[in-house]
Every structure is written in C-alpha cells, then in structure tokens.
Structure 1
Amino acid sequence: MALSSLLGGILLLALSWKASQLAKAPSDRVLRSVTLCILCSALSFPLGLKSVARYVDSLTGDGIAKLLQNALLLVLVYFLQCVFLYSASDRTAGNKRARWELIPLASAIGIATLAMTITPGPERAHTYATANMREPGVALFYLAAGLYLVYGLALALWWTSRYIRLSNGPLRTGLRLVAAALTAMVLMGSLRETLTMTRWAGGSVPTALIVGAKMLLDITIPLFVAGILYPAAATRWMTIRLWAHRRRMYRRLTPLWTALHEAFPEDSLHRTPTGGWRDALRLRGIHRRYYRRAIECRDGLVRISPYLAKLEDSMEPSVPLPPGRAAVHLREALAAYTAGAPVPGRAIAVALPGGSDLDDDVRQLVALSDALRTYQEGS
C-alpha cells in the first residue's frame, strides 16, 4: 500500500509538472510525447488496484479494467518510442515513422480485445499469477500484450543506449536510469512471455518466480519515471541553488550599497520599471536585482576611489586596497565627498576582481561589504 501511494504521488507530481511545461510549448512533439507517456501511466495505475478494477468491472463488465489497463500500457510504450523518433528525426520523418509504429500497436490492442471477448466471463476476473493459461483467450491476451511490450521497450532501450553515448551531465544520468529500468522491463517481459507459453502448454511455474517478476516490474516503473524527470529536476535544482547563492550575495552587499547609495543616489539603476512584489517572487527577479546592485556598488567605488587614495598616500595606485583598510576609510571618504571636497588627482584600486566575470567582481565587493559591516558593528 505504501509503495502504491508513493508511486501514485510520483506520477501525479510528474504529470502536473510536464502538463505545465506542455502548456507553455504545445508544439514541442518530444515534450508532448513525454507528457502522454506519464498520462497513460497515471491512468493505468489505479486500474491495477483491486478495488478500482472491481468497481470498473461492475460498471462495464468483467475484464474491462484489465483490458483498459493493458491498452494504456501499450499506448505508453508507443509514446515512449515517439520520444526518440521525434528527437532523432525531422518533423516529416518522425511523423512518418510514428504512423508506421501505430500498426503493431493497433494489432496488439486488437488481438488483446479479441482475446478478452472470447474468454468466458468467469475466466476474465484474474491476475497474471492466478490466470488459467490453458484457456486460449487468456493465453492469447497475455501473449499479445506482452509481445508488444517487449518489442516497444526493446526498441526504446536501443534508442536510449544510443543517446547515452551522445549525452553528458544530468541528461546522461537520467538516460542511464531509464536504460536500467528498460533493461529490467525487457528481461522481465521476456520472462513472462516464456512463463505464459510454459503454462499454456500445461507446464507448472513456481509462484515465487511469478511474484518476483511482478515485484521487479513494479519497482522499475518509478525508476523509469525518475529517469525521465531527472534532467529537468537537476537543472531546476541548479537554478534554485544559483538563485539562493545570489540572494545571499545580494543581501551581503547591503552595507556597502547603502553607504554608496546615500552618497550617489543618482547612480541608481531603478529607473527601469520592474514587476514590484511579483518580480521579487520570481526566480529571475533576484538575478536582475543582483546585477543592478553589483553595478551600482562598482560605480560608487569608482567615484569614491580618489578620496580613498588621498587617505592612503603611501600605497601604489595599482595595488588593490585591502577590504579591511578600505572599510575603515570609506566613511571618511564619503563624508569628504558629501562636504564638497575637491576630487583628488589620483585614484586607487578598490575591491579589484581577479577575473573578468561579474560573479568574481561580486565576491570582491562582498568581501568589502562584510568588512564594512564588521567595522560599523565594532565602532
């Protein structure tokens, strides 16, 4: 029950996520195929629960829940193939191959439907472990559905293995999880086909083998879903980590920015309209404020640098002023500027970055801001 609840929760979460992405990009064929894969899985999952299956059968007839569940699983595998077909081909070739793949799908569903139709009513209410495989309709049902599953999953595994070699980073990790799940599914599907034929021929199969194969198949489903979601989840996690880091740096710049903004309010970049509180709640909002605060701090330091240089006559202009000493003299330099003191004739390097990227510049500004906070608290 706990595993079923966990799997159901994962499927609903995955479906909501992909549906929201598809709403933003409805023409993305790969994303649409992934979303339909998860939708079929989410729809088929409750039909595998005994209570739901009994209720559906009571409304529609014996065996309909089982037929619907298996048909949805077959359609899921078809859309899984479409994910790779659309990824590896242009629109015309992908659509053509996808239409051809409808033939084995329709054949499998048609044969399974026919098999369920010719199966006597009392024989339809069964699980795989308890099914009477000597009944032709029952055996045909499992053989038709199982054969297509093995075919579709094996084809998807081939495409996945090919893409693993061409990918890297989170995508490769996700594809490896998918490949592991598909490998287990193909092996267990092949095993079930063998067991079905053995039981159809009158042979006996250990119950433990049937139960073990089913348990492994149940485990591979969340592994498969996790593999599909992993690349996007990893990317989102890195985005959130970057957002959190820049939010911390933005806040740590506050003492330096406040001091400089009071002296040079005209350097503020806030004239560009923003989305107000809605902008603050969006992930991109902090990036905009982060860049703006860093630029405003740097502009202010450039303007106050000559006044700092006057307080550090003994230092070479090309030698960066250490953050601690810059923090000590910053208030005095800002006071001199505010009082209208003439601009000294030379400047000095302050919080000079070691690299050319903005993040390195921000690290030096934050070091100065931290030193300024410490100096102010100790004064």
Structure 2
Amino acid sequence: MIVFVIVCGMSVAFVAALGWKIFQLFKAPRDATLRAVTLCLISAAFSFLLARQPFADWIASAGGPGAPRLVQNLFVLSMVYWLMCFYLYSAAADAAEGNRRARREALFLALAAIGLLSATVAAGVHDHGANFQGSDLRDPALVSFYLVADVYLVYALAMSLRWTCAYARASQRPLATGLWLAAVGIGAMAASCTIRAVLTVVRWQGSTVPPAVTWASGVIIALAVPLFLIGVSYPGAATRIAAMRVRRQHRRMYHRLGPLWQMLHVAYPEHSLYRVPANPWQDHLLPLGMNRRYYRRVIECRDGLVRISPRLAPTKGLVEEQPEWADDLADQLYTALHSEQPQAAPADAVPVAMPMTQSLEDDVRQLAQLSDAVRRRRVLAGTKHTD
C-alpha cells in the first residue's frame, strides 16, 4: 500500500511538472533550455507509458516482439540526450553555439539509435521481447542491443553529472539543493547502467549472475529516477511555496489595512489607483492579483495620510516606542476627516506613522497598527452609539 501511494504521488508530481513545463514552453517557445527540459520530460513519460499494457501489445503487433523494447529504449536515449542539451544550451555563449553543440551530440544519438534498430532486426525470430533479465544474452544481437544502449546512457549521464555538479557548486538555494538531488539521481542512473553493461558481458560469456546483483541494479534505477525528478522539480516547487507564503501574508495584511483604507478612500476617492479594472475576475483569481491589490492598498493608504497630514496635530510622541501612538493618531484622523475645516495643500504634508527604518515591511507594519487602532475606535464608537 505504501509503495502504491508513493508511486501515485510521484506520478502526480511528474505530470504536474510536465504540464507546467509545457505551459511555460507555450509562453516562451524560443527558449532553448526550456525546450530541452520539456522534451526530456516528454521522452521520459513516453518511455514509461509505451512499456505498459496495452501500448506494448500494440507496438509488438505492428513491429514484432522486440519493437516495444526498441521504442522504450529509444525514448530513454532521447531523454538523456535532451538532458545534455539543457546544459549545452545553458553553457553556450549564444544560441548558434548551443545549436552546434546539440547537433554534434545528435550524431552520437543517431548512431546509437541505428545500433539499436540494427540489433533488433538482427535478433529476428530469436527475439521473444523479454526484458533484460529474461533475455537470452548468448545471442550476439541482443548483447549488442544492450551494450549500445548502456554505453550511450553511461556517456550521456556522465556528461550531465559533470555539468550538474558544476552548476550546483555555483548556485544558491533552492536551485543548488535541487541540482544536488538531481546529481545524485543522475549518478545513480549512470552506476546502474554501468552495472548492467558489466552484467551483459558476464552473461554473454555464459557465466551466471547472482539474482541479488540484478535486483540491486533494478533497485538503484528505481530509486534514481524519482530522485532525479524530485531534484528537477524542487527549485520550482520551493519557489511556488515561497510565493504562496508571501501571497498569504499579503492577503492577511490587505484585510488588516481595510479599516484605514476605507476611512481614507471615502475622504479621498480620487487617490484610487485602479478604480475600473479591465478584467476584475483576473485581478481576484490570478495568483498575482492579490499582490497587486495589496500594493495598491498600501500606496493608497500612504497617499491618504500624506493628504490629511497637514490637518493633524504635531506628531511629537507619536512614535512606535509609545504604545498609545496608534490610538491617538486614529482619534486625530477621525476628528480631521469629520471636521469642517478646509483641506490644506499637499505641499504642507508632514510625516505620519513613519517607521524608524526605510523598509517597506516596517512601513506596512506601521500602517497596519494604525488600521487596527481605527478598527478599535470604530468598534468603540459603535458600542457607545448602541448604549
């Protein structure tokens, strides 16, 4: 049951990562590195799906018993090729250089694909479509098939591992963490392919391979692939989680600033920055909508305080070290906004509820404390009116 839950969780994570990369690629179709990552994930998905029923049966009925194994391995080789291309494009000085490097590596991929196809055709009637463990490796064609695949995989994975470690050492968290996880997964996959190549030669010579060794090789690859996917997905997931945390904080502060904003907005509606949004549903539903509304509310609150500041009493003592500063200033705001005195010119503006440091977070915290005081005054006024 635990294994099933883990497999389902990894499948959902992989589908989510693939869908996100495809969405990004549609937005930036000329991004070569993004295209390489997307094609790498697509190749991995096809290599997994086409090895399962009923896809494997359809491929076998069309191309023979060895066709499913051939198609699956071709997609595996394509996966590691596009993984290399990601680093080739990233390290290239320009797009032309990256394309030249990718084309050069494509020649090795083409040679490996031709080798797999030739070995599959040569196996002919002796090929029953069995997996590595069930194949008769006394057949030179099947030996060639697995050796060609393993040699190319070891080469491509070793190159990718070198670049991954280099980028991980030069990066910062969370990217560095994801790259190191991916490096461990790539290294484990390279080790598993190396072990399988050695086992292929041993079985070709007629020697017996202990089942534990074959089992260990399978376990390594079974653990390496999810670890690699986790490493690839980790930076994006960590960034999304951090963004969600910031949006949650902005949403809380947005509602906390409500009483102060409402008081100033009623007095100065012309300070509204976004009175008629073109797409109001997007402004409320999209992830960035809350951030925009939060910053608008902060700016509008500060503009309103600048406008009303000349009509307030001197701010001596109204500093954050004084516990009653917010309540005193809230009383002054209410009095000033409901008085009959003419409004002063904005040129006479003075600092109001300013933090001790030049920080947006501290400024918002000051505004939030003042807004809390406005809310308390409103509740108290409502209670007195009821009495």
Q: Please list every run of 5 or more consecutive structure 1 residues that lacks an aligned counterpart in the other structure.
A: none
1:364 Cα deviation from its structure 2 partner = 0.9
Task: Find the aligned partners of 1:361 and 1:5 in 2 and give their Cα distance.
Answer: 46
If the length of structure 1 is used for normalisation, what is the TM-score? 0.90
Quick check: 1:160–1:175 contact (8 Å CA) kept in 2?
yes
Q: Secondary structure at the match of 1:169?
A: coil
Closer, same or farther in 2 for the Cα pair 1:200/1:64, shift >3 Å? Answer: same
After TM superposition, the structure 1 = structure 2 runs for residues 68-79 of structure 1, keeping only pairs within 5 Å, are 68-79=71-82
Q: Which residue of 1 aligns with 2:251?
A: 247
> Which region of structure 1 is more displaced relative to structure 2, 232-241 or 45-54?
45-54
Q: Which residue of 2 aligns with 1:63?
A: 66
Quick check: 1:36–1:76 contact (8 Å CA) kept in 2?
yes
Q: Secondary structure at the match of 1:119?
A: helix
If the length of structure 2 is used for normalisation, what is the TM-score? 0.89
> Which region of structure 1 is more displaced relative to structure 2, 25-34 or 42-51?
42-51
Identity of aligned residues (%): 42
Q: Which residue of 2 aligns with 1:351?
A: 353
Q: Secondary structure at the match of 1:124?
A: coil
Task: Find the aligned partners of 1:368 and 1:274 in 2 and give their Cα distance.
Answer: 32
Task: Find the aligned partners of 1:143 and 1:72 in 2 and give their Cα distance.
Answer: 16
Task: Find the aligned partners of 2:288 and 2:309 in 1 and give their Cα distance.
Answer: 32
CA offsets 1:64-92 (integer angstroms, 9 cap, x no match): 11100001100111111100000001222
Q: Please list every run of 5 or more consecutive structure 2 residues that lacks an aligned counterpart in the other structure.
A: none
> 2:235 aligned with 1:231, yes or no?
yes
Q: Which residue of 2 aligns with 1:334?
A: 334
After TM superposition, the structure 1 = structure 2 runs for residues 134-145 of structure 1, keeping only pairs within 5 Å, are 134-145=138-149
Closer, same or farther in 2 for the Cα pair 1:327/1:318, shift >3 Å? Answer: closer
Identify the match of residue 224 of structure 2 among 197, 220, 223.
Answer: 220
> 2:285 aligned with 1:286, yes or no?
no
1:349 Cα deviation from its structure 2 partner = 5.0
Quick check: 1:8–1:42 contact (8 Å CA) kept in 2?
no
After TM superposition, the structure 1 = structure 2 runs for residues 147-158 of structure 1, keeping only pairs within 5 Å, are 147-158=151-162
1:147 Cα deviation from its structure 2 partner = 0.6
1:319 Cα deviation from its structure 2 partner = 4.7
Quick check: 2:154–2:194 contact (8 Å CA) kept in 1?
yes
> Which region of structure 1 is more displaced relative to structure 2, 340-349 or 355-364?
340-349
> 2:39 aligned with 1:36, yes or no?
yes
1:325 Cα deviation from its structure 2 partner = 4.2
Q: Secondary structure at the match of 1:309?
A: coil
Quick check: 2:313–2:332 contact (8 Å CA) kept in 1?
no
Task: Find the aligned partners of 1:233 and 1:333 in 2 and give their Cα distance.
Answer: 44
Quick check: 1:319–1:348 contact (8 Å CA) kept in 2?
no
Quick check: 1:280–1:286 contact (8 Å CA) kept in 2?
yes
CA offsets 1:225-276 (integer angstroms, 9 cap, x no match): 2211222222222222212211111110001111222223333323464421
Quick check: 1:307–1:344 contact (8 Å CA) kept in 2?
yes
1:308 Cα deviation from its structure 2 partner = 4.0
Task: Find the aligned partners of 1:80 and 1:44 in 2 and give their Cα distance.
Answer: 15
Task: Find the aligned partners of 2:333 and 2:241 in 1 and give their Cα distance.
Answer: 43
1:6 Cα deviation from its structure 2 partner = 4.1
